[in-house]
């Protein structure tokens, strides 16, 4: 017959395993939620007035002066895009 001490050891060990599995699933869910939140925030930036004006200015400059202006412009568009790509890299690197 199995004594009380053996049963309590088995229950304690199984509760630790269940707790670890639960926290692993929570961490995975939290990572997905953060990625989704990042995408939503970035999409809201693209709909903003500041981004639209910068995009229009960039398109107008490219049509007027050529592609060399694209690489020399220092506008909020490039800041926004660099932040976006660095954020994607942070979320999806691991």
**Tens digits of residue pLDDT in 27-82:** 999 998 988 888 788 777 777 788 778 777 777 766 666 555 556 655 556 666 66
For residue 84, the enclosing domain spans 4-92
**Tens digits of residue pLDDT in 14-24:** 999 999 999 99
Give residue 9's Cα distance to chain centre. Answer: 41
Look at residue 94 in the predicted model and tell me its pLDDT: 46
* Residues 50, 78 contacting (CB under 8 angstroms): no
* Residues 51, 80 contacting (CB under 8 angstroms): yes
pTM of the prediction?
0.46
């Amino acid at each position: 017959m199995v004594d009380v001490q053996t049963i309590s050891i088995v229950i304690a060990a199984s509760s630790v395993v269940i707790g670890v599995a639960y926290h692993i699933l929570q961490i995975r869910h939290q990572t997905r939620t953060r990625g989704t939140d990042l995408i939503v925030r970035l999409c809201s930036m693209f709909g903003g007035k500041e981004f639209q004006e910068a995009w229009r200015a960039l398109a107008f400059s490219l049509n007027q002066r050529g592609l060399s202006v694209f690489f020399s412009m220092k506008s909020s568009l490039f800041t926004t895009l660099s932040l976006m790509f660095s954020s994607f890299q942070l979320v999806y690197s691991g």
